[in-house]
């Protein structure tokens, strides 16, 4: 199993609205992709910023390609992300899952 980790930062005042947006865009897309085993959404408020860490779990790198395209290291964004995110981080990180519940 492969874990794909993406990080983004929004203004804290938009954190709840961004979570609603994720529930309408990225999260359903993750779950609808064959080979996806789920996604964790983590949030940390730090002063006036909200950090989001999405960790999606995948059967294989080929499954990730179905979601992200051929360049799986490139972050996948949606058109309205620029209304929330303070910057568009260009890459994601992948990890082999060696232990899971």
Give me the pLDDT at residue 100, please.
87
Give me the pLDDT at residue 77, please.
95
The dihedral region occupied by 28, where left means phi > 0, alpha psi between -120 and 50, and beta the remainder, is: alpha
Which secondary-structure segment (H or E) carries 32? helix 26-32
How many other C-beta atoms can be found within 10 angstroms of the C-beta atom of residue 5? Answer: 14
**Which fold does the domain 2-96 belong to in CATH?**
Alpha-Beta Plaits (3.30.70)
List alpha helices for the chain, DSSP H. Answer: 15-24, 26-32, 61-68
Give me the pLDDT at residue 47, please.
98
> Residues of the chain whose pLDDT is less than 50?
none
Reduced DSSP (H G I as helix, E B as strand, rest coil) percent helix, strand, coil of the chain, to 5: 35, 35, 30
Give me the pLDDT at residue 75, please.
97
């Amino acid at each position: 199993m492969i874990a794909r980790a993406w990080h983004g930062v929004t203004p804290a005042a938009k954190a709840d609205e961004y979570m609603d947006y994720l529930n309408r865009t990225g999260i359903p897309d993750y779950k609808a992709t064959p080979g996806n085993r789920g996604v964790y959404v983590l949030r940390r408020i730090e002063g006036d910023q909200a950090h989001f860490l999405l960790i999606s779990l995948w059967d294989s790198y080929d499954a990730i390609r179905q979601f992200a395209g051929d360049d799986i290291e490139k972050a996948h964004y949606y058109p309205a992300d620029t209304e929330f995110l303070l910057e568009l981080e260009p890459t994601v990180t992948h990890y082999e899952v060696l232990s899971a519940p």
